[in-house]
Amino acid sequence: MFQIQNAQSLIGLVLTMAICWALSENRRRFPLRLAVSAVAIQVALVLFLFAVPAAQGVLRTVGKGVDALGAAANAGTAFVFGFLAGDPAAQPYLVNAPGGLFILAFHVLPVILVVCALSALLWHWKILKWIAKGFGLLFQRTLGLRGPPALAAAATVFMGQVEGPIFIRAYLDFLTRSELFMLLTVGMACVSGSTMVAYVVILKGVLPSAAAHVLTASIISAPAGVLLARIIVPPDPIESKVDFDPKTGEKVYGSSIDAVIKGTGDGLNIVLNVAATLVVFVALVAMLDQLLGLLPAWAGAPISIERILGAIFTPLAWAIGIPKAEATTAGQLLGVKLVLTEFSAFIRMSHVAPAALSDRSRMIMTYALCGFANIASVGINVAGYSILAPNRREEIMGLVWKAMLAGFLATCMTASVVGAMPTGLLAP
């Protein structure tokens, strides 16, 4: 049943688009038709995934598959690292705090390796390839995108913010400025298949149907990313047509074994990048907190980055549907996501007490946090696109910060759409 709290989320839906319109390079060209289409696609996908019995069955199967993947990855980790994988029976000493058995490096990051290898195998078997092409056709027909950027946007949902554009690498120099900005934004608004499973491992103990929500979040944030990108950088009145060979730029594997080996190598790069980023950014924030701690206390507590960001993002958290009493906590999570990556935000949310964040608020925040829009991703995109499209590096440098903001707001827009839906519906 539609309630006042659902209407509250509509404020966030309007607010995210209004902020992007205020930053638009041409405020006279608001894409009203695209706005209606993007929101309609998001609503339709949510209704399909959570209201259609067959789709609910698929989501439950996905959840079981994710649990199986996590268990399989843990078995491999235990074989290599022994008791560090967290098996209580294998501990050589008594553990008084069970939570101490959860070590990010040995519980979450190995999952990325396994999923990357599996994704490469599914791509070689053409299963993942056809799924990406199907979503690409959907984006092309409903969002008015041309073939190459539509395919790249769809591939980004499953492969990642830099991996997706690889499939149209030969055409990146021919994309318009608006299309290039759109790809950057969608990459920041979504996550990759490998990290989806890692997020589920983090959240499964505190969020019912975590796998269903994380998967849905990444898929339905793509239309939001397209919309907000088009608002900020409107498309050219006449976009030149480019002949597109769908085989150009595809990843090709020699065999199934080759796919597994190369997929594992790609996963290792991602794992090292995630681990290094978390170490560096958490350290930098700790340094800033130490400096802020020298200032006089504020409201009876030391000043910190988390408290500052919480104050800044509390209104946005309330607008997307979080109750007033929980908005500060949710605002802090949004700030952590922007500064310390979504990994840190999900880990932080998994430790938040139930009294500070209700089940509905956790669900909404899962959608708001499920995206790569953070400061670290700015560097990742600049480095990646500098290799993929070196001739457009300066142009990308001028767009990437705005793309981060658009991607951040896109996940908030998605959270608003979900928050506006009847709460009982989102329980597969």
Using the structure block, give the residue that is written with the tokens 């499939």: 167
Instruction: Tell me the average pLDDT across 70-88.
Output: 75
Q: Which of 343, 370, 214, 348 is nearest to 275 (CA)?
A: 343
pLDDT higher than threshold 70 for residue 95: no
Query: How far is residue 292 from each of residues 39, 305, 308, 332, 365, measured CA to CA in Å?
Result: 41, 8, 10, 17, 27
How far is the CA of 46 from the CAs of 162, 252, 275, 427, in angstroms? Answer: 26, 33, 32, 11
Q: What are phi and psi of 147, to 5 degrees?
A: -55, -55
Q: How far is CA 318 from the centre of its chain?
A: 21
The residue that leads in pLDDT, 25 or 427, is 25
The better pLDDT of the pair 90, 327 is held by 327
User: How many angstroms from the chain centroid is the CA of residue 414?
Assistant: 11
Under the banding of pLDDT at 50, 70 and 90, the label for residue 243 is: very low
Question: Residue 417 in contact with residue 42, Cβ under 8 Å?
Answer: yes
For the cut 90, the answer to whether the pLDDT of residue 262 exceeds it is no
In this prediction, residues 50-70 reach a mean pLDDT of 75
Closest to 190 measured CA to CA, from 202, 179, 199: 199
Amino acid occupying residue 170: A
Confidence class of residue 282 from pLDDT cuts 50, 70 and 90?
confident
Biggest CA pair distance of the chain: 69
* Residues making up the chain, counted from first to last: 428
Q: Which residues of 336-362 are buried (b: 16+ CB within 10 A; e: fewer)?
A: bbbbbbbbbbbbbbbebeeeebeebbb
Q: What is the mean pLDDT of residues 312-326?
A: 92
pLDDT tens digit string along 21-47?
A: 999 988 888 888 889 989 998 998 888
In which element (H, E) is residue 123 found?
A: helix 109-124
pLDDT at 186: 92
Whether residue 309 contacts residue 340, with contact meaning beta carbons closer than 8 Å, is answered with no
Six token digits for residue 43: 């609503």
Rg, Å, the chain Cα set: 21
Residue 301 pairs in a beta bridge with 298
Dist CA 191 CA 208 (whole Å): 20
pLDDT value of position 96: 60
* C-alpha count within 13 angstroms, C-beta hemisphere, residue 84: 11
pLDDT at 382 over 70: yes
Task: Please name which of 211, 59, 48 lies closest in space to residue 138, comparing C-alpha atoms.
Answer: 48
Q: Which of the four pLDDT bands, split at 50, 70 and 90, describes residue 100? A: low
Q: What is the mean pLDDT of residues 303-319?
A: 86
pLDDT at 427: 57
Average pLDDT over every residue of 132-160? 78
In angstroms, the CA 38 to CA 142 distance is 8
- Hey, how many other C-beta atoms are within 10 angstroms of the C-beta on 137? 14
> In the predicted model, what is the mean pLDDT of residues 341-364?
88
CA gap 325, 330 in Å, rounded: 10
146: Cβ contacts below 8 Å, ≥ 6 apart? 140, 179, 239, 241, 242
Q: Confidence class of residue 212 from pLDDT cuts 50, 70 and 90?
A: confident
Lowest mean pLDDT among 358-367, 398-407, 415-424: 415-424
Among 63-67, 255-259, 301-305, the range of highest mean pLDDT = 255-259
Stretch 115-141: mean pLDDT, rounded? 78
**Beta carbons of 151 and 132 less than 8 angstroms apart:** yes
Q: For residue 234, give both structure tokens.
A: 């409107």
**pLDDT at residue 167 greater than cutoff 80:** no
pLDDT of 86 reads 65
If you ran DSSP here, which 8-state letter would residue 334 be given? Answer: H
Cα–Cα distance between 124 and 252 in angstroms, integer?
7
Task: State the average pLDDT over residues 85-110.
Answer: 65
In the chain, % of residues over pLDDT 70: 88
Average pLDDT over residues 209-227: 87
* 3-class DSSP assignment, residue 68: helix
Closest Cα partner for 38 from 228, 233, 224, 232? 224
Q: Is the pTM above the cut of 0.85? A: no
Q: Is the pLDDT score of 57 beyond 70?
A: yes
The per-residue pLDDT of the chain, averaged, comes to 81
Tell whether the model's pLDDT for residue 9 goes beyond 50.
yes
The domain limits of the chain are 4-89+104-234+247-425
Beta-carbon contacts of residue 34 (< 8 Å; ≥ 6 apart):
143, 144, 226, 227, 230
- SS3 call for 374: coil
Average pLDDT over residues 372-395: 83
The band of 414, judged by pLDDT with boundaries at 50, 70 and 90, is: very high
For residue 53 the two structure tokens come to: 């019995």
Contact call for residues 82 and 240 (beta carbons, < 8 A): no
